[in-house]
Amino acid sequence: MRLALSLLLVLAACSATPADPVALLDGWRDAIGKQKSVRLDVKIDVEGKDPRKQTYAGVVHFSWMGGTPQWDVTAHVENRYRTTDYRSVSVQHDDYLSHSDLTLPPGKEFSSMGLNDAPWVGPLSVELSLAAKEYRPSGVFTGIDRKTVRLVEHDGDRYVFAAGGVPHSGGYTNGDVRLVVEVDDEDRVVRAERSTPSVDGQTERLTAVYSQWGTAPDVLRPPQEVVAKPKDVVAQRR
């Protein structure tokens, strides 16, 4: 009887041990890396004296064995200077863009994106690449300091983490981060909320919803008749 009771106490103690937060985050990143596609809906709000807003919605197909990722993502970006809307499509190394800063010829809905085809292509390509880091699922875990992260709440498939911000080059730590993650029965992230100081000292809040892991619809190339050549597109000065 005493032996049985001792075993029960040991098992109870083990079950009460909090999960390793770094192992949880790494496990979810690995689960994301094994998926072929996802549908996403991401919202980023910066709150403070200089408020900003970004929203991204669409489908991403991930690359395998050195392949090229494909996506069809619609974005809306607001700041104190301007409001920007665009739709970015990438299929087998070919990129297409519909953007509020671009004036297309009549009957055209997209421009192709050959880097050497027009001066405006390069800067916008950089902008799109930076934006992709914001909405890709792996970006949810950006800014989490692995040395200070801790699991502060756990209820079923919902996990709440707190951590110090990642140290910057100046040697300081840029505030604290709070991350809430919800996963499905296959340990795939379906919702994430992250609150962190922004680079200019305001508060940045990210809310991301992910669905159709591995079953998101294919990314389709726009019909050629609605695609303009970059040299025929007028880009707004910034």
What's phi and psi for 69, nearest 5 deg?
A: -65, 155
Q: Does 12 map to a domain? A: no
pLDDT band at 141 (very low <50, low <70, confident <90, very high): confident
Is residue 82, in this structure, part of any structural domain at all?
yes
User: Do the domain assignments include residue 52?
Assistant: yes
- Average model confidence (pLDDT) across the chain: 86
Percent of the chain with pLDDT over 90: 62
Contact 32, 26 (CB under 8 A): no
Q: What's 96's domain CATH number?
A: 2.50.20.20
Report whether 224 contacts 96 (CB < 8 A): no
Query: Is there a domain that residue 3 lies in?
Result: no
Any domain includes 85: yes
User: Above pLDDT 70, what percent of the chain?
Assistant: 85
In single-letter form, the type of residue at position 197 comes to: P
Residue 221 has pLDDT above 60, yes or no: yes
Question: What tens digit of pLDDT does each residue of 10-33 get?
Answer: 343 343 345 799 999 999 998 888
φ, ψ for residue 194, nearest 5 deg = -130, 130
Q: Contact at 8 Å (CB) between 229 and 117?
A: yes
Residue 189, pLDDT score: 96
How many domains, in total, are found in the chain? 1
Tell me whether residue 1 is in a domain: no
151 falls within a domain: yes
Position 211 scores a pLDDT of 97
Tell me: the pLDDT tens digits for 85-127?
999 999 988 999 999 999 999 999 999 998 889 999 999 999 9
Residue among 122, 99, 120, 94 nearest 109 (CA)? 99
| Least confident interval from 25-34, 49-58, 203-212, 224-233 | 25-34
Q: Domain of 191?
A: 18-235
Q: Which amino acid is present at 198?
A: S
